[in-house]
Structure 1
Amino acid sequence: MEQDAASLSGEDNFVGKSPCCSDSEALSQGDKDYADILELNQFDGLPYSSRFYKLMEERKELPVWRARSEFMDTLAHQQFVAVSGFAKTGRSSQIPQWCAEFGLSVQFQHGMVVCTQTHSQQAVDLALRVADEMDVNIGHEVGYSIPLEKCCTSETVLRFCTDNTLLREMMSDPLLERYGVVVVDQAHQRTVATDVLLGLLKDIALQRPELRVVLLSAMDPTPKQLTHLSGSEVPVIRVEAPGAGEVVYSSSGGDYFCSALRLVLEIHRSEEWGDVVVFLVTTQEIDLARDILCHEVHGLPPHLGGLVPIAVHPGQPGSLPILGDEEAEPTRRVILTSSPNEDFFWADRSIRFVIDAGLEKRCVFNPRIRTNSAVIQPISAAQAESRKQLTGPAGKCFRLYPKDRQLPAEARPQIVESDITSTVLFLKRMEISGMGHCDFIDRPDPGCLMHSLEELDYLAALDNDGNLSEMGIIMSEFPLEPQMAKTVLASCEFDCVSEVVIIAAMLAVPSCFIDPPAELKAEASRGHVKFQHPEGDHFTLVNIYKAFKQRQQDPYFNEEKWCQDFFLSHTALLMADALHAELTDTLRRIELPISMPAFGSRSNTLNIKRALLAGFFMQVARDVDGSGNYFILTHKHVAQIHPLSGYGAKSPKLGLPEWVLFHQHSFSEDNCLRTVTRITPEEFIQMTPQYFFYNLPPSESKEILQNLFNHADSECGEEKRPSQEEQRQEPPSERCVVQ
């Protein structure tokens, strides 16, 4: 049932009085007027505060407010609704509130409201803002749940979360029966999780006609998106933006980076007051630009005012600055960021200038070499428009590319260029829950799909019919990549759970190592070397975590200073600690054994390596010439060990091992192996499924391993090697004990 704006703003239809004044008292106080009779908040039953009315006036000024009646009427009569409008139109903050009002009008008999975001920080920021506007307490009526952090209760009526969080929730609630309205925000970014969610919502909506699905996008959804959601026409409500300022085109001649920095300094010298957002391309560019501007600040005349560069990396929790009002901050801020951060500054009114390089970096998965390649390409026309809208009507947008450059209309869907092994594992789990096949808007790349199925098969997550095996079901319980989930399960058999869970947690969060400016690199190396373990980087991570936890027990311990002294990320360590607790709880919930810590013993070291190989036998390399050129077994590529590795530093403490297991191959950035641990070929053949080994391309390294296989077979007195199909059916226990 729709409520008019006057009811919400307190202009009419008062339904309650202040609890400190009874009816008789109110009548006896004739000098009291309506200002003393307060309307009660429909969500918590308490009187509205004065701030609620102040914020209500601001909300009415938002462009989306003009579409309120149309939206509420459409939501009442249609199962699917699409709303298009840029970030500063108010779509992300107002639409979820109106959905909550719609749910309240029917007493939430069909469930609560959930709103998805693509990034954790946006989910938190929106929840805080919306709770403030609704005049309720965060974590009660309005809350959020993101990976490793939850701020809501069973009574929460409006919850913000990441799209990945909602997908994991569907494993226990496949029809989303807790919710009456699902709001999918930022659908224009076409992330893998968002596309999968929309694919499943189409099937859920058929089974739950009462469910409402709201699609929010910066631009009009494509006909393909709309027809995918429903066979009938999906109504689209278009919110007109208030308009942006002047657009200035300037060809940078390819050197957009230097042009952007010169333009920042020119704006500071000659333009009116206001903050600047600079859209660069890579993380390295963002950090370098911050360092250069910090250096240039010292040479600026004092009368120009302060200039504060702020690096904002996409997808890193806690990286966004707290943006205040212009009057409260006398300095000009320069916010250095990249895609997909076009929506991150929706609440900031101090931005007056945008500098747009017009390019973005996308990671494209190559199934042939089993790694991502970085591709620098033009942004879409919708992204360019979103960036322009951040300036507001009085600002300026400087585009560092020619006016006649043809930009693609929309961003390429991530589902067609990403490694979807985790997604396939999730969808196999959903099939067990009774869900049909996911109806993708755009089908995944066939090569990537075949790679995902092959990898899950190697990990024993699939049975002979291609369905999820018992091992695969348990693997899907963990919020980890399939290879790491298999490693955790193997650690239960090898009695090294305590240590492997630490490794899993440390590798699933951003790197704990801080790479400082050039003048501090030597000092950082001395700090990092104190934690180095002779067996490799996985063991070094255990050393760091244990040192951090041990010092936490000291009541006088200053965590942030300790991390600063050793050039470690305090945020990353806290995230790892939270994930460690979550993984431990998951193991207890599914009744898997948790071993006692035994880190440092010879048997524990060997068992940790076995567990790692159980999941990462596909990521093994050999130093072919003794000089650090590592030949990767799966695709004959040669790479080096990353300088931040204990081996990469070539310190006297750690020599270069011949055989290594690596966690990541950063192919397009620096062609380096990251997080590397020493192994032996004997350990490799013990833990590797033979049918994987036989599929390796021919090489000298494979011949060495083949000789070891033959020697092991002759010692066991084998008369005949089993066929590949027999190996798949019944892997030898002495070689692949966790299959």
Structure 2
Amino acid sequence: MPSFPNTHSPSSQNQQSGGKSQQQQQQQQQQQLLAKKRWIAQQRKSLPIASVERRIVDEVRKNDILIVVGETGSGKTTQLPQFLFNAGFCQNGKAIGVTQPRRVAAITVAKRVAEECNVELGQKVGYAIRFDDVTSSSTRIKYMTDGLLLREALLDPLLSRYGVIIVDEAHERTVHTDVLLGILKKVQKARSQSISKEPIKNANIDIDMLNEVNHQRLNTLLSPKACQNTKFLPLKLIIMSASLDAKGFSEYFGGAKAVYVQGRQYPVDILYTYQPEQDYLDATLITIFQIHLEEGPGDILAFLTGQEEIESIEKLIHGRLDKLPDDKRKVMTVPIYSSLPSEQQMNAFKPAPSGFRKVILATNIAETSVTIPGIRYVVDPGLVKARSYNPVTGMESLIIIPTSKAQAQQRSGRAGREGPGKCFRLYPESEFGMLSDSTIPEIKRCNLANVVLQLKALGIDDIIGFDFMEKPSRMTIVKSLEQLFLLGALTDDYKLSDPIGHQMARLPLDPIYSKALILANEFKCLEEMLIVVSMLSVESIFYFPREKMEEARAARKSFSSPDGDHVTLVNVYRASAECLDKSKMVTSKDKTIEKNLKKWCIENFINSRSLRHARDIHSQIQGHVQHMGLSVTSCGDDMLQFRRCLTAAFFLNAAMKQPDGTYRALASGQTVQIHPSSMLFRSKPECIVFNELVRTNHNYVRNLTRIDPLWLPELAPQYYASS
């Protein structure tokens, strides 16, 4: 996208133009705006979907359910909502809702569409993600995460404000997407059965009425009898996918019609290695520099499995660039991963400075959700980090696994959006043939406690009988029900408990974290638990550069606590808050305050990106718990009380030391080891609670706290009293 001159203040304009008149300045600005509008209009017309606008609008009018299949870059995400708005689908005050599986996509697309519509973001076009709502009463095209629309359904079970809902990137099959499809199917049926033959002048529903019935069974609420005295517009539902296989979606929606949009894909040369790579990170680094030094112009997109790998490669790139001649150093690295603050994710979409090559280091977030301009080269090690759940043991873990063929093809396609490109797959061609065809849907490989809690909050009690597109195993659902019962979210007959279950459902967190915050209110340590939940919601607070490993370890030791990792995180957060407070006493300038905090982070080997994100999350969750009436009190230095609270919250993740130095997870019986990154790695206390299980060549537990084993039957008698 070409850059357009910024609008300057009159004083700076006069300096630059040698004293142009105000009228001349206004004319120049108008010309710039017109040029930009013309360029945007040309870009929109050139998108593949523009040629089928009339056909798609006609199909939406004729069909309540439509499946639109088009490759990333076809324009379906930005253009289809505008087509429908212009065709009158937002009459009667209705909005078009567009769900995305990732927040970065919701934000970037909303900004782009607002620009194309020449409106201020948050007015006609807006977005809403967890902890960030940029919409207003005048918003008619709303981009949001699929999880956020599920939460909207808690307050408005009939999704009455929407005339059209578009589920984008449905092929990714996230848990939220799969659950949302089942909910939308039910909502659409109920609204269709309530339609009057008479014209509907006001189809808005009384939100207060909906709040009153919020906790009734959704099945009852959405029955024809419940809807017969209320007039609704039908809900138009569009499922969009970048995968050419629309059969599954069509069958799920009773043979729904599919429309295919031709993609705009240039040829991409696929290159494989002769032998498997022993160190895929080193191979990625070598390939990036091979491209930079030997290939023509164009940006590079390298896929990695997580934040730690991305930041490690980023530092290694800069280290090697320092050894190159000046004319070869013009490389700008840009990370993009899900826990990166939204404004930093936007850097991936900005053009590199003139003469520079941009190297984007990304997780699978960049496979399909967003189109990043300028990419000509893709580096694909063929791996992805995924959640894995064993319903027999009840343990969920993060594992690095090979991508599917579909993922590999999506990745290579990134190199051919704007011209011919190359994809460097860091594995032999024979291994590609052994990959699975598609990714296993997330709903079949993760703990469903959060899903079950949301469905219960929507009034759906028969979880096993819920109309999932692909049903998870019965054992997985039963395990999730058991976990929620043990956490106090469900009653003896597996109904949502009051108040704990309803409070947990209101918090946009994993159920175990929601319960931890509720318990912390009773233990008078809610501030410390807010800190821990916020810090655990981001990756890698500490970083360890290879060239300064000992300094980094010494810095971390200054924050360490013999009680474990949770208290250490509290110490880091408190120290950063103290740094901010000192800066605020000296200056009121936000930029200076942030600069001082960043300097403090560098000195203490703290990841400033992660810390900033944790502070944002802390602020948002604090607002939630205060709105619920909880009191944000601190236990001060009484970490005994805090550790007892952690035990009461994370009792399902307790482990006891065995004679050989390993640990036995009490809930699953699995043998686990303390991760080397833990503060308790060397001390090996008798009993611990942990937050995360990571499977590599061993089962490692991370984020630990030392506890007294006698606390378990005292604080979690519902689980440990009998043993």
Between 1:432-441 and 1:57-66, the stretch displaced more is 432-441
Task: Report the CA distance between 1:440 and its aligned residue.
Answer: 0.7
Whole-Å Cα distance in 2 between the matches of residues 578 and 333 of structure 1? 28
Match 2:641 to one of 607, 626, 643 = 607
Query: Corresponding residue for 1:618?
Result: 652
Whether 1:442 and 2:474 are equivalent positions in the alignment is no
Query: Is the alpha carbon distance of 1:361 and 1:486 closer, same or farther for their aligned partners in structure 2, counting shifts above 3 Å?
Result: closer
Aligned ranges 1:376-387 → 2 under 5 Å: 376-381=401-406, 383-385=408-410, 387=412
Match 1:248 to one of 264, 270, 282 = 270
Whether 1:177 and 2:160 are equivalent positions in the alignment is yes
Query: Corresponding residue for 1:644?
Result: 677
- When the two structures are aligned, how many residues end up with a matched partner? 636
Whether 1:427 and 2:447 are equivalent positions in the alignment is no
Deviations 1:427-466 (A, max 9, x none): 1111169999641110113332222111112112222222
Task: Report the CA distance between 1:117 and its aligned residue.
Answer: 1.3
Whether 1:337 and 2:362 are equivalent positions in the alignment is yes
Query: Is the alpha carbon distance of 1:692 and 1:451 closer, same or farther for their aligned partners in structure 2, counting shifts above 3 Å?
Result: farther
SS across alignment from 2:641: helix
Query: Corresponding residue for 2:290?
Result: 266
Q: Percent identity?
A: 29
Match 2:558 to one of 530, 550, 561 = 530
SS across alignment from 2:402: strand
SS across alignment from 1:673: strand
Match 2:416 to one of 391, 395, 403 = 391
Aligned ranges 1:61-76 → 2 under 5 Å: 61-76=46-61
Query: Is the alpha carbon distance of 1:263 and 1:567 closer, same or farther for their aligned partners in structure 2, counting shifts above 3 Å?
Result: closer
Task: Report the CA distance between 1:158 and its aligned residue.
Answer: 1.5
SS across alignment from 1:476: helix
Query: Corresponding residue for 2:577?
Result: 549
Query: Corresponding residue for 1:571?
Result: 609
Task: Report the CA distance between 1:215 and its aligned residue.
Answer: 1.4
Match 1:583 to one of 621, 636, 640 = 621
Query: Unaligned stretches of 5+ in structure 1?
Result: 1-34, 39-46, 695-705, 707-739
For the 8 Å contact 1:96–1:113, the answer to whether it is kept is yes
Aligned ranges 1:64-463 → 2 under 5 Å: 64-102=49-87, 105=88, 107-109=90-92, 111-209=94-192, 210-229=234-253, 231=254, 233-255=255-277, 257=280, 260-281=284-305, 285-302=309-326, 306-318=330-342, 320=345, 322-323=347-348, 328-343=353-368, 345-348=370-373, 350-369=374-393, 370-372=395-397, 374-381=399-406, 383-385=408-410, 387-392=412-417, 393-400=419-426, 401-402=428-429, 405=433, 407-431=435-459, 438-463=466-491
Whole-Å Cα distance in 2 between the matches of residues 173 and 445 of structure 1? 29
Whether 1:58 and 2:43 are equivalent positions in the alignment is yes
Deviations 1:213-242 (A, max 9, x none): 12111123432212213x2x3222211122
Paired residue type of 2:404: I
Whether 1:497 and 2:519 are equivalent positions in the alignment is no
Query: Unaligned stretches of 5+ in structure 2?
Result: 1-26, 193-233, 588-592
Query: Is the alpha carbon distance of 1:687 and 1:306 closer, same or farther for their aligned partners in structure 2, counting shifts above 3 Å?
Result: same
For the 8 Å contact 1:364–1:417, the answer to whether it is kept is yes
Match 2:549 to one of 517, 521, 524 = 521
Aligned ranges 1:557-706 → 2 under 5 Å: 557=593, 558-592=596-630, 594=631, 596-601=633-638, 605-625=639-659, 629-648=662-681, 650=682, 655-668=683-696, 671-692=699-720, 694=722
SS across alignment from 2:538: coil
For the 8 Å contact 2:694–2:700, the answer to whether it is kept is yes
Paired residue type of 2:362: T
Query: Corresponding residue for 1:717?
Result: none
Task: Report the CA distance between 1:204 and its aligned residue.
Answer: 0.7
SS across alignment from 2:710: helix
Query: Is the alpha carbon distance of 1:205 and 1:688 closer, same or farther for their aligned partners in structure 2, counting shifts above 3 Å?
Result: same
Paired residue type of 1:532: S
For the 8 Å contact 2:69–2:260, the answer to whether it is kept is yes
For the 8 Å contact 1:67–1:237, the answer to whether it is kept is no
For the 8 Å contact 1:190–1:414, the answer to whether it is kept is yes
Query: Is the alpha carbon distance of 1:492 and 1:309 closer, same or farther for their aligned partners in structure 2, counting shifts above 3 Å?
Result: closer
SS across alignment from 1:525: helix
Paired residue type of 2:532: I
Whole-Å Cα distance in 1 between the matches of residues 130 and 563 of structure 2? 31
SS across alignment from 1:410: coil
The alignment's C-alpha RMSD in Å is 3.0
For the 8 Å contact 1:83–1:214, the answer to whether it is kept is yes
Whole-Å Cα distance in 2 between the matches of residues 76 and 112 of structure 1? 16
Deviations 1:479-530 (A, max 9, x none): 22111222222223233333323322322x2135232222222222222222
SS across alignment from 2:96: strand
SS across alignment from 1:411: coil
Higher relative contact order (CA 8 A, sep 6+): 2
Query: Is the alpha carbon distance of 1:435 and 1:462 closer, same or farther for their aligned partners in structure 2, counting shifts above 3 Å?
Result: closer
Whole-Å Cα distance in 2 between the matches of residues 436 and 52 of structure 1? 52
Query: Is the alpha carbon distance of 1:500 and 1:304 closer, same or farther for their aligned partners in structure 2, counting shifts above 3 Å?
Result: closer
Whole-Å Cα distance in 2 between the matches of residues 616 and 390 of structure 1? 45
Deviations 1:308-327 (A, max 9, x none): 44443355344536246768
For the 8 Å contact 1:186–1:217, the answer to whether it is kept is yes
Whole-Å Cα distance in 2 between the matches of residues 364 and 138 of structure 1? 38
Normalised to the residue count of structure 1, the TM-score between the two structures is: 0.79
Task: Report the CA distance between 1:373 and its aligned residue.
Answer: 5.2
Whole-Å Cα distance in 1 between the matches of residues 398 and 462 of structure 2? 36
SS across alignment from 1:89: coil
Query: Is the alpha carbon distance of 1:182 and 1:535 closer, same or farther for their aligned partners in structure 2, counting shifts above 3 Å?
Result: same
SS across alignment from 1:170: helix
SS across alignment from 1:639: strand
For the 8 Å contact 1:486–1:614, the answer to whether it is kept is no
For the 8 Å contact 2:635–2:641, the answer to whether it is kept is no
Between 1:438-447 and 1:406-415, the stretch displaced more is 406-415
For the 8 Å contact 1:87–1:386, the answer to whether it is kept is no
Whole-Å Cα distance in 1 between the matches of residues 445 and 377 of structure 2? 33
Deviations 1:672-709 (A, max 9, x none): 32221121122122012245554xxxxxxxxxxx5xxx
Paired residue type of 2:296: E
Between 1:395-404 and 1:329-338, the stretch displaced more is 395-404
Query: Corresponding residue for 2:199?
Result: none
Between 1:118-127 and 1:334-343, the stretch displaced more is 334-343
For the 8 Å contact 2:396–2:693, the answer to whether it is kept is yes
Task: Report the CA distance between 1:340 and its aligned residue.
Answer: 4.3
Task: Report the CA distance between 1:596 and its aligned residue.
Answer: 3.5
Whole-Å Cα distance in 2 between the matches of residues 362 and 479 of structure 1? 21
For the 8 Å contact 1:200–1:438, the answer to whether it is kept is no
